[in-house]
Structure 1
Amino acid sequence: MQKKILDAFLFRHAAKDFDAARIIPEPVFATILQAGRLSPSSFGFEPWRFLVVQDAALRAKLHAFTWGGQKQIPNCSHLVVYLARKGMDTRADSDYVRDFVDRVQALPADVQKMKLERYEAFQKDDFNLWGDERALFDWACKQVYIALGNMMTVAALLGVDSCPMEGFQQQRIDEVLASDFGIDQSQYGVACMAAFGYRVADPRPKTRQALHDVVQWF
């Protein structure tokens, strides 16, 4: 099992071009999506949304403002746009969070109160997020990247390639998402994108720092 896991990490790379003729089987991609859905997030509040963009015309709209995905967006089997909830939606006093602890997490009333008080203290005192919309959005993006990482790892375990992408004009992409996808900009902003599919060519050997250069034991 250990070898299988490490082999998947060695297999995974940021594929720059995909074989447009090869489509990921539906059950395989469903598993990748489930890996995102089941990912952990701080306080379990899942401040994400995943847009699977298969329509060529909509991909072209995104492609125009994505300098880091010129080959990936047109040719990949599946394109995912990762959205993060905007700042005030993630505050402890927001309708989203209060509904989440009640409807999704189904916590008893006394536990809800305790959790929301702890969450508010975390945002105000521990991480200094409360009054800063950009800081709250960036914090939500951190949670989204957990889902992104899990989806890419599961893809690699299934023999599927991927490429995370931040090489885009964030404001222009948000505008496209609002005008062409119907995304409410007051609730969501783009965090990143990822292309999934099958590589055209093998990459060069993986380079990483040695384990002893990045790990300290105490």
Structure 2
Amino acid sequence: MSIIEKLKWRYATKKFNPSKKLSESQLTTLKEAFNLTALSYGLQTLKLVVVEDNKVRENLVGMSYGQRQVADASHLLVLCIQTEINETDVNEHFKTIKKIRQTPDAILAPFKEQLNTSIAEMSSAKKQDWATRQAYIALGNLMTVCAVEGIDSCPMEGFIPKDIDNALGLDKLKLNSVLLLPVGFRAEDDMFSTFKKVRKSISKTVIEL
């Protein structure tokens, strides 16, 4: 299938087949895709928590307003942001740049200082909002890769973050969950898989100047 056909094939899966599991190769692809997501400044203030344990995921269903996808999918991907973003993150980022690209400090220093200043001027609430927006970029990237790989997914905002954080121990890792993405394979009797996509025509959504 072409990329467009694959995007037409994907849908927000309402019912997963609990018996079908992602291969290690497929799971590795999703991890790599998450890690390669284009993010602001290249600063990776996100974490991806991969939950496979059935008992753990079953316990999360109630915290997700009864949505069975959380438990019935092959894996649950939890997109998280750091509770704190500061100079340490910036310094580690530029240390990694130097290690990988061998870029001299004289070239990196001005950019590092500028980024540290920008982050220092942000309120805690603005940092959280900024990081959350990055999480949505990662979500879109993951959903597209899933479609290309023939993996079903269902993006979810409908859950209770604090309860999920406590259940998974994310608070201890200084992380906040912001999005859930169950991934796996659709059940044969999920009627939503046969529904035609409802979209406006391109002429109504794309403006050419």
TM-score tier (shorter): 0.7 to 0.9
For 1:196, which of 180, 183, 192 is the aligned residue? 183
Task: Compute the displacement of 1:142 (Å).
Answer: 1.4
The 8 Å contact of residues 48 and 83 in structure 1, kept in 2 or not, is answered as: yes
3-state DSSP class of the match of 2:55? helix
Query: Is there any run of 5+ residues in structure 2 with no aligned partner, and where?
Result: none
Note if 1:16 corresponds to 2:14. yes
The 8 Å contact of residues 90 and 115 in structure 2, kept in 1 or not, is answered as: no
What are the equivalent positions in structure 2 for 1:81-120 lying under 5 Å apart?
81-86=78-83, 88-89=84-85, 91=86, 94-104=87-97, 106=99, 107-120=103-116
Structure 1 distance, partners of 2:97, 2:80, is 19
Aligned length: 202
Structure 1 distance, partners of 2:54, 2:79, is 18
Task: Compute the displacement of 1:122 (Å).
Answer: 4.7
The 8 Å contact of residues 13 and 203 in structure 1, kept in 2 or not, is answered as: no
Compared CA separation, residues 95 and 117, structure 1 to 2 (3 A): same
RMSD after superposition: 2.1
Structure 2 distance, partners of 1:24, 1:189, is 26
What are the equivalent positions in structure 2 for 1:133-148 lying under 5 Å apart?
133-148=124-139
The aligned amino acid for 1:198 is F
The aligned amino acid for 1:52 is V
Q: Is the deviation greater in 34-43 or in 112-121?
A: 112-121
Task: Compute the displacement of 1:27 (Å).
Answer: 0.9
Structure 1 distance, partners of 2:67, 2:14, is 9
In structure 2, the residue matched to 1:40 is 38
The aligned amino acid for 2:10 is R
Of all paired residues, the percent bearing the same amino acid is: 28
For 1:76, which of 73, 77, 82 is the aligned residue? 73
Instruction: Give TM-score scaled by structure 2 length.
Output: 0.87
Structure 2 distance, partners of 1:121, 1:211, is 41
What are the equivalent positions in structure 2 for 1:153-164 lying under 5 Å apart?
153-164=144-155
The aligned amino acid for 1:195 is P
3-state DSSP class of the match of 2:7? helix
The 8 Å contact of residues 102 and 112 in structure 1, kept in 2 or not, is answered as: no
Structure 2 distance, partners of 1:162, 1:72, is 9
The 8 Å contact of residues 39 and 150 in structure 1, kept in 2 or not, is answered as: yes
Note if 1:55 corresponds to 2:53. yes
Task: Compute the displacement of 1:112 (Å).
Answer: 2.9
